[in-house]
Structure 1
Amino acid sequence: MSQKTKGVELLLGDPRRAIIKLAIPMMTAMFVQTLYNLADGIWVAGLGPEALAAIGMFFPIFMIILSFAAGIGIGVNAVISQKIGMKDKNSADEAAKTAIFLVLVLSLILTISSLLLIKPTLRLMGARDDVLQLSLDYSNIILYFIIVFMFGNVGNAILRGEGDAKRAMYAISIGSILNIFLDPVFIYTFKLGVKGAAYATIISAAVGCFLIFYWFFIKKSTYLSIDLRNFRINLPALKDILSIGIPASFAQLSMSVAIFILNSFATRAGGQLGVAVFTSAWRVINLGTIPMIGASTAVTSVVGAAYGARDAKKLETAHLFAIRFGFFLGLCIMTLILLFAKQIAFIFTYSQRGQIIFKDLVDALMVLSLFLPGTPFGMFTSAMFQGIGHGGKSLAITIFRTIVMQVFFCWLLVNVFQVGLSGVWWGIVIGNLTNAVVAFTWSRFVIKDLKVQFQNLG
């Protein structure tokens, strides 16, 4: 398809309308995906704590693998939207083809290396006996199909890059909903246990992956023309994708590292129960950030198109509107958590043993809810930097928030002032707010420089 699609027209039109129209489908898709993750845990929990622990052991490894796909996806999303803004469809086509080739090669490398390393890695993480075997049963199935997850992730990013957020939503949501229903069938009806959970996950991901494949290569109904016959690596496109994608992958990894460090502070301040409080409260806060994560993908696409068109005013409008939109969302979610903190805490502490952490969990939710209104300033600025191809700046914003500011203030309050467990919550909030001020200030200087740069070019 060579004519402009509705998605492309959206990217090239009013940035405020584009942010809303692109954000809502991705917010919906990520909410459905979160429901699947919750349902998956519930179904597996029926097999016993060993099965739940086994999948929990594999989860961070799988997230590291997917961080590579996420990085490539962010890179190709930004590059495609930039080229569309430039009205250079041929270069956008080349970027999409290069990203698909890159993900095929990377999937092969990761599949072979992860299959060889999975057992010693799980042992290193502390998996033993039944938990180790169950984790291997699950992971050895998933790892053979890394290509499915990586292609789905990057294909989804290509759709977002050309402004087709609705089909991106369909691919994610259909697979996630299917998985919710397949889990009990494979786990309990077919009596496959954790292997059944793995098969259900693969089949569901494959359905979403096939939809993307069908749109790209069979129906050919996307704006971009993706034909891999006689394909040759486009080095400029590869360089552009990796310059954004590699920092984005490291940003994903830095967040995992930060959670590990924050867990250690929670342990120091409150023992094992402190970790239980942090884990439970942070799940709620992460749920609250889902709408913003969905909106951030829209920011990258819309800003990328504005940058490609050398339209600094449109770029600035998109960035500021997104922040106002995200700030309003954050205030609303924060208010809901503050109003219903006790009810939310009860969900995690309904057992007799769980009641021991009820008060601490309520306190944690009350403080950590303040994290949400400040999040868009850093998150959307990071997405804006990705959209204009400044991957290093995006990585710097993420590391400054997660590993520098949050860790520093947690250390200060827990180790120096010895505030206790509440010091962890206030450290996270103060670190995030500090980052919000720095990130937003930095964004204003960058946009100001872009205005001057574009005026000189014009």
Structure 2
Amino acid sequence: MANKNVELMRGEPEIAVKKLAIPIMISMILTALYNIIDGIWVAGLGPTAIAGIGFVTPIFMVLNGASVGLGNGATSSISRFIGAKNHEKANESATHALFIFLIASIVLTIIFIIIQEPLLRSYGATGQTLNEAIAYATPLFLGLIAFMFSNGCSGILRGEGDMKRAMYVVVASVILNATLDPIFIYLMGFGSAGASLATITSSVISAIIMLYWILIKKDTYVDVNLKNFKFNPKLTKDILKVGIPSSLDMLIMAIAMSIYLIVISMVGGDYGIATFTSGQRLYLFAIMPLTAIGSAVIAVSGSAFGAKNGEYLSRTHTYGVKFGLALGTVITLILVIFATPLATIFAYTPETANLVPGIAEYLQLVCPCLILTGIGIPSSFLYQGIGKGIYSLMFTILREILLVVPLIYLFVFVFDWGIVGIWLGLCIGRSIASILNYAFARYEIRRTRAKFGN
């Protein structure tokens, strides 16, 4: 099966992106259901619990983003070696990736456990909201190794085009998470902590299954041999030159999210935080299919770059953009038209019913940016595929910090538009950044084709 996956990546790029994106899309949508399911069950605990988890969201983005980012580094490195038909280096790259996942998980766990309370206080969490936030965050930080290896091993499989088995694991883990949530939260009385414990348990199972395939069953294209491991600085750098910027993407987004939370707390208090948290869950869920297209672009563009095939590289990006634009438009229409019933998912109790109008307004004002995000995400992931992750980081900074934050300041503090100004700043800033990102990606492709001579 692995050889067929590799040949798919080396074949027609449009077919490869489509066939690889669909299982990734299913996997990412189901993975996003972790947050959706947690939000649905936690809603029964009241507005304080919802707000508490909202304060954890930017931190969770960092630790989960680190695992996804390093997984993207593995995907890029392995796929480029596969494109160059260097099986031995692909094997070594996968082996080095596992050691990177281990070291990163240990270091980040220690850091987040130490800084969690002061960090949450800096966001504005106090009193019972702070207690709920810490209760939810602590299991997530202690279980970082599960996220790291679950997302990291998935990145290894993506690097060789084996998307389906990663999808099967996600299906099983989501079902497990959905089953454990009510048990841990209500039956066992763990409250907010129960939601994160269910998520961590599911991730542990996911990581174990994929490690079994890679290390014990050994039915993957890459052959990982830990006994003969020899540290190779060049391979480590090859993974990290994409993995670190990709991880920092989420750090920048988390910093921006922290700014948003501070402004939202100033303008809308706990009601604004709860509204944003619930709306953001749907936004992040909706963006998963677009991210899946980007993940497929990483693998296929990496293979094309490794083979020095400029034509296939261009076709990969073009098809990814068309796919993303069409899907982003459909998703936006669904979120805008059905904003109110979708908002009810997170405000189904008498205590939280007053959140429905606010959540619906968030969806209607923020989510139209998803149309142009459909061309921005494949562009960012193209950079990662060709080993230039710094460009992806550059556009994340441009989008979330240099465009969105000033626009929010302008709309809220100059125009005095209140919470609506925050939502409009998010939408307009992200839309402008996506257009600029696409234009730069086409420029980079032209430059690469000239270098390859095709």
- Aligned Cα root-mean-square deviation (Å): 2.9
Task: Give distance in 2, aligned partners of 1:203 and 1:193.
Answer: 16
Structure 1 CA distance for aligned equivalents of residues 151 and 168 of structure 2: 13
Which residue pairs with 1:172 in the alignment?
170
* Alpha-carbon distance between aligned partners in 2 of 1:298 and 1:27, rounded to the nearest angstrom: 9
Cα gap change, 1:321 to 1:100, in 2 (>3 Å): same
Once the two structures are overlaid, the 10-residue window that deviates more, 297-306 or 131-140, is: 131-140
Change (3 A) 1:226 1:113: same
Task: Tell me the residue number matched to 1:375.
Answer: 373
Q: How far 1:87 sits from its partner (Å)? A: 0.5
The answer on 1:37 being equivalent to 2:17 is no
Other-structure match for 2:382? 384
Matched with 1:435 is: 433
**Is the 2:54–2:273 contact (alpha carbons within 8 Å) kept by the matching residues of 1?**
no
**Is the 1:95–1:234 Cα contact (8 Å) retained in structure 2?**
no
Corresponding residue for residue 89 of structure 2 = 91
Distance across 2 between alignment mates of 1:278 and 1:70? 24
1: CA distance, partners of 2:427 / 2:192 = 37
8 Å Cα contact 2:58/2:257 also seen in 1: no
Alignment CA distance shift 1:322-1:177 (3 Å):
same
Q: 1:393 to 1:119 in 2, by over 3 A?
A: closer
Output the CA distance in 2 between the equivalents of 1:356 and 1:50.
14
Match of 1:229 in 2: 227
Secondary structure, in 3 states, of the residue corresponding to 1:281? Answer: helix
In the alignment, which of 231, 244, 248 is matched to residue 242 of structure 2? 244
1:373-412 to 2 correspondences below 5 Å: 373-412=371-410
* Aligned counterpart, 1:416: 414
| Contact 1:413 1:423 survives alignment (8 Å) | yes
* Distance in 1, Cα, partners of 2:266 & 2:121: 25
Q: Distance in 2 between matches of 1:444 and 1:242?
A: 24
Deviations 1:233-286 (A, max 9, x none): 111111111111111111111112222323444456656544444444333332
1:124, 1:409 → 2: CA distance?
Answer: 23
- How far does the alpha carbon of each residue in 1:342-394 deviate from its partner, in whole angstroms, 9 at most, with x for none? 43345556667766665555444333232111002221111001111111111
Task: Tell me the residue number matched to 1:319.
Answer: 317
1:396 alignment partner AA: M
Mapped contact 1:323–1:376 kept (Cα < 8 A)? yes
Match of 2:9 in 1: 11
Q: Alpha carbons of 1:257 and 1:90: their partners in 2 closer, same or farther (altered >3 Å)?
A: same
In 1, the alpha carbon distance for the partners of 2:180 and 2:384 equals 36
Structure 1: unaligned runs, 5 residues or longer: none
Question: Could you tell me which amino acid in structure 1 is paired with residue 433 of structure 2?
Answer: N
Structure 2: how far apart are the matches of 1:222 and 1:394?
A: 29
Please report how far the alpha carbon of residue 46 of structure 1 lies from its aligned counterpart in structure 2 after TM superposition.
4.4
Cα shift readout 1:192-223 (whole Å, capped 9, x = no counterpart): 55565454333322211111111111110000
Separation (CA, whole Å) in 2 of partners of 1:218 and 1:359: 52
Whole-angstrom distance in 2 between the partners of 1:438 and 1:296 = 17
Distance 2:178 2:36 in 1: 9
Whole-angstrom CA distance in 1 between matches of 2:51 and 2:355: 21
Residues 120/102 of structure 1: CA separation in 2 closer, same or farther (3 Å cut): same
Corresponding position of 1:154:
152
The 1:146/1:260 distance shift into structure 2, 3 A limit, reads closer
Gaps of 5+ in 2: none
Aligned length: 454
Q: Deviations over 1:284-308 (max 9, x none)?
A: 3322212101111111111111111
For the residue of structure 2 that corresponds to 1:452, the secondary structure is helix
Residue 116 of structure 2 corresponds to residue 108 of structure 1: no
Q: 1:328 aligns with which of 323, 326, 332?
A: 326
The structure-2 alpha-carbon separation of the partners of 1:193 and 1:313, relative to structure 1 and needing over 3 Å to count, comes to same
Q: TM-score, normalised by structure 2?
A: 0.89
Q: Is the partner of 2:223 in helix, strand or coil?
A: coil
1:201 paired residue among 183, 199, 202 = 199
How many angstroms apart in 1 are the aligned matches of 2:385 and 2:364? Answer: 34
Q: Alpha-carbon deviations, 1:54-75, whole Å to 9, x = none?
A: 6555554343233322221111
% of aligned pairs identical? 39
Structure-2 change in CA distance of 1:226 and 1:327 (3 Å) = same
C-alpha change, 1:101 and 1:267, in structure 2 (3 Å) is closer
Letter in 2 for 1:239: K
CA 1:147–1:215: 2 relative to 1, 3 Å: same
Partner AA of 1:107 in structure 2? S
Provide the secondary structure at the position in 1 that maps to 2:225: coil
Q: 1:10 to 1:58 in 2, by over 3 A?
A: same
Q: Is the 8 A contact 1:103 1:151 kept in 2?
A: yes
Contact residue 156 and residue 171 of structure 1 kept, 8 A:
no
Aligned-residue offset at 1:158: 0.3
Q: Do the aligned partners of 1:69 and 1:103 also contact (CA within 8 Å) in 2?
A: yes
Asked if 1 retains the 8 angstrom alpha-carbon contact of 2:39 and 2:346, the reply is no
Alignment of 1:107-146 (within 5 A): 107-118=105-116, 121=119, 139-146=137-144
